[in-house]
């Protein structure tokens, strides 16, 4: 038996999909990347690379690297095999953020991070299907539009600041504004408006035929404990699950209030996850 690591290309697309769909709920983010962007970036797209670990000619693990390490995501199928891929990238990849199964991310960060972790969040990946949903809806939840940007941008930035302890509008106002706009134009952001004011938002972070991963759920502090998150999360789940088999959502272990909300809506907890952001 021979073991090898190689950069994946178009000829590996079917093998990568087969690998990721073995544990689709925990690989939804990568499945969304593959379905939307392919296995290699097209012209004008931000650079990324999939690396694969092979046993003889069989793909047994994959590692996604955005740019030169801006975001690193291992496949969930075999953590030790994904760490073995990272061992071959020492000195080639400078990791700045990673997310995925906790033990796998820990091993990859030790190998590829150039500095100390600025943020380390223990998380739980919750998942839900249509049969699990409770009776929670809010038909006034809607897709965000460009006219929402004056309110949406600070709302989205407040979510990042509360979660990661940094202000993206202070770090890179133009870049962050462009990313929020891109999500709006991609029909990825949903908002709840009350009396002309946006009070809630949630994003579809990654989507494919296998499901979607929700992220960046945020309610204005003054509007919390009024049921907005429960009803709005139930609404977007009901909408998306009319055409998708499953949804997932990562919840910080310290955020007990959000965990209660997602459980109430019908989500069930999966394996421990980790999000790490490294000082660059």
pLDDT tens for each residue of 167-190: 999 999 999 999 999 999 999 999
**Mean pLDDT (whole number) for 97-102:** 95
Spatial distance between the Cα atoms of 212 and 206, rounded to a whole number of angstroms: 5
Q: Regarding predicted confidence, which is higher, 104 or 115?
A: 104
Q: In what order do the strands lie in the sheet with 97-101?
A: 3-7, 48-55, 58-66, 71-74, 97-101, 268-278, 117-128, 247-252, 211-219, 197-208, 189-194, 142-143
CATH classification (class only), 3-114: alpha beta
- pLDDT of 23 strictly over 80: yes
The pLDDT, as a whole number, for residue 280 is 61
**Mean pLDDT (whole number) for 90-101:** 95
Assign 22 a pLDDT band (cuts: 50, 70, 90). very high
Name 195's Cβ contacts closer than 8 Å, sequence gap at least 6: none
pLDDT tens for each residue of 183-232: 999 999 999 999 999 999 999 999 999 999 999 999 999 999 999 999 99
Domain range list for the chain: 3-114, 128-272
Mean predicted lDDT score pLDDT of the chain? 95
pLDDT tens for each residue of 35-70: 999 999 888 888 999 999 999 889 999 999 998 888
Domains 3-114 and 128-272 agree in fold: yes
pLDDT tens for each residue of 103-114: 999 999 999 998
Residue 139 · residue 244 · CB < 8 Å: no
Q: Please name the fold of domain 128-272.
A: Aminopeptidase (3.40.630)
The pLDDT, as a whole number, for residue 48 is 95
């Amino acid at each position: 038996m021979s073991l090898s690591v190689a950069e994946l290309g178009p000829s590996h697309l079917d093998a990568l999909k087969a690998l990721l769909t073995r544990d689709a709920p925990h690989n939804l983010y990568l499945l969304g990347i593959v379905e939307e962007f392919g296995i290699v970036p097209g012209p004008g797209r931000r650079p990324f690379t999939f690396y694969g670990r092979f046993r003889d000619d069989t793909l047994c693990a994959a590692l996604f690297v955005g740019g030169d390490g801006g975001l690193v995501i291992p496949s969930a199928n075999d953590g030790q095999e994904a760490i073995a891929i990272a061992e071959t990238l020492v000195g080639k990849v400078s990791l700045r953020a990673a997310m995925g199964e906790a033990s796998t991310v820990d091993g990859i960060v030790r190998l590829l991070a150039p500095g100390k972790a600025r943020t380390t969040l223990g998380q739980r990946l919750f998942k839900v299907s249509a049969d699990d949903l409770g009776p929670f809806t809010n038909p006034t939840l809607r897709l965000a539009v460009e006219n929402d940007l004056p309110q949406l941008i600070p709302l989205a930035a407040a979510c990042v600041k509360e979660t990661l302890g940094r202000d993206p509008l202070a770090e890179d106002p133009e870049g962050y504004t462009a990313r929020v706009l891109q999500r709006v134009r991609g029909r990825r952001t949903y908002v709840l408006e009350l009396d002309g004011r946006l009070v809630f938002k949630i994003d579809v972070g990654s989507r494919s035929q296998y499901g979607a991963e929700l992220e960046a759920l945020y309610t204005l502090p003054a509007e919390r404990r009024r049921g907005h998150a429960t009803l709005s999360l139930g609404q977007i789940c009901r909408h998306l699950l009319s055409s998708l088999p499953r949804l997932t959502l990562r919840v910080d272990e310290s955020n007990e209030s959000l965990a209660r909300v997602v459980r109430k809506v019908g989500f069930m907890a999966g394996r421990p996850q980790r999000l790490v952001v490294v000082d660059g």
